[in-house]
């Protein structure tokens, strides 16, 4: 077995219904590039071409296997249409694998993706130290699609980037005045005997009146604290 490594540059999903060729349902494809030196012809290598790769849902039907002359254990194949200078391939995935692959793609947030295709040795040639095209098709009997993502940091540095740093209220800001109002409210509630000393106009307040005023100040302080313009 030899491996072909591809890198998707774009993904496309569609819904098909072609009863005459039994091609129905979800259809996922990718346009890929490769660094492979696989020889297509005397002056052309696989890395010079983009590869159109399709992912089919289900299991490769035996009828298609026979018609396309794929190997007994193949899950798909690769073809080079020399007249059109076009390379394409496809392989089948079980339903759950197909769904998992699409979830990974639509989830995004990955930094890299690679596709590894295991090809049957009998379907390729070996010329001058390099693998070369032997004829259509190249049978694919294994496949792996991997997604690379950044690790989620758990240390305090990451937390400091996502959580706002608490600061003491700046003088003149909403939160500054909120603190003042709340302190005044607490003083009026718990030490009413100081009202006349600290707040001259309140010296004649009864205990009940002082508590009402304290409540108003406290609520006003909370409203100032939680406004978006807070300091």
pLDDT of residue 160: 45
Q: Is residue 7 within 8 Å of residue 113, measured between CB atoms?
A: yes
Confidence of residue 106 (pLDDT cuts 50, 70, 90): confident
Identify the residue with better confidence: 221 or 62.
Answer: 62
Give the pLDDT mean for 43-54.
92
Which residues partner with 142 through β-bridges?
118
Verdict on whether the full-model pTM lies above 0.85: no
State the alpha helices, DSSP H only, in the chain.
Answer: 62-68, 95-107, 156-162, 174-190, 195-198, 207-225
pLDDT of residue 227: 73
> How far, CA to CA in Å, does 109 sit from each of 98, 102, 106?
19, 13, 9
pLDDT of residue 168: 54
Confidence of residue 228 (pLDDT cuts 50, 70, 90): low
8 φ, ψ (degrees, to nearest 5) = -65, 140
pLDDT of residue 226: 72
Q: 92, 89, 1, 76: which is closest to 49 by C-alpha? A: 89
Give the pLDDT mean for 186-212.
61
Helix H or strand E encompassing 42: none
Alpha-carbon distance of 4 to 133, in angstroms, equals 13
Alpha-carbon distance of 30 to 52, in angstroms, equals 6
User: Percentage of the chain with pLDDT > 70?
Assistant: 76
CB-based contacts of 42, cutoff 8 Å, min separation 6: none
Label residue 22 exposed, middle or buried (CB < 10 Å: 0-12, 13-18, 19+).
exposed
Q: Is residue 77 within 8 Å of residue 56, measured between CB atoms?
A: no
Select, from the ranges 12-21, 129-138, 162-171, 209-218, the one with the highest average predicted confidence (pLDDT).
129-138
Identify the residue with better confidence: 24 or 40.
Answer: 40
142 has a pLDDT exceeding 80:
yes
Q: 28, 26, 23, 47: which is closest to 36 by C-alpha? A: 47
80 has a pLDDT exceeding 90:
yes
Kindly report the number of other CB atoms within 10 A of residue 189's CB atom.
16
């Amino acid at each position: 077995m030899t491996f072909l490594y591809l890198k998707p540059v774009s993904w496309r999903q569609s819904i098909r219904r072609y009863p005459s060729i039994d091609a129905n349902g979800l259809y996922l494809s990718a346009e890929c590039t490769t660094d492979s030196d696989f020889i297509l012809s005397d002056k052309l290598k696989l890395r010079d071409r983009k590869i159109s790769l399709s992912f089919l849902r289900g299991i490769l039907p035996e009828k298609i296997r026979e018609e396309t002359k794929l190997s007994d254990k193949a899950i798909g194949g690769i073809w080079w249409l020399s007249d059109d200078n076009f390379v394409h391939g496809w392989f089948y995935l079980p339903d759950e694998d197909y769904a998992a692959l699409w979830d990974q793609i639509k989830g995004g947030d990955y930094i890299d993706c690679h596709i590894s295709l295991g090809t049957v040795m009998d379907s390729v040639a070996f010329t001058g130290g390099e693998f070369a095209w032997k004829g259509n098709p190249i049978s694919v009997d294994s496949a792996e699609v991997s997604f690379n993502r950044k690790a989620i940091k758990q240390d305090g540095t990451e937390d400091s980037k996502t959580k706002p740093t608490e600061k003491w209220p700046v003088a003149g800001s909403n939160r500054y005045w909120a603190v003042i109002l709340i302190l005044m409210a607490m003083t009026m509630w718990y030490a009413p005997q100081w009202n006349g000393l600290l707040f001259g106009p309140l010296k004649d307040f009864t205990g009940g009146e002082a508590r009402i005023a304290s409540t108003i100040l406290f609520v006003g302080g909370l409203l100032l604290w939680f406004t978006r313009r807070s300091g």
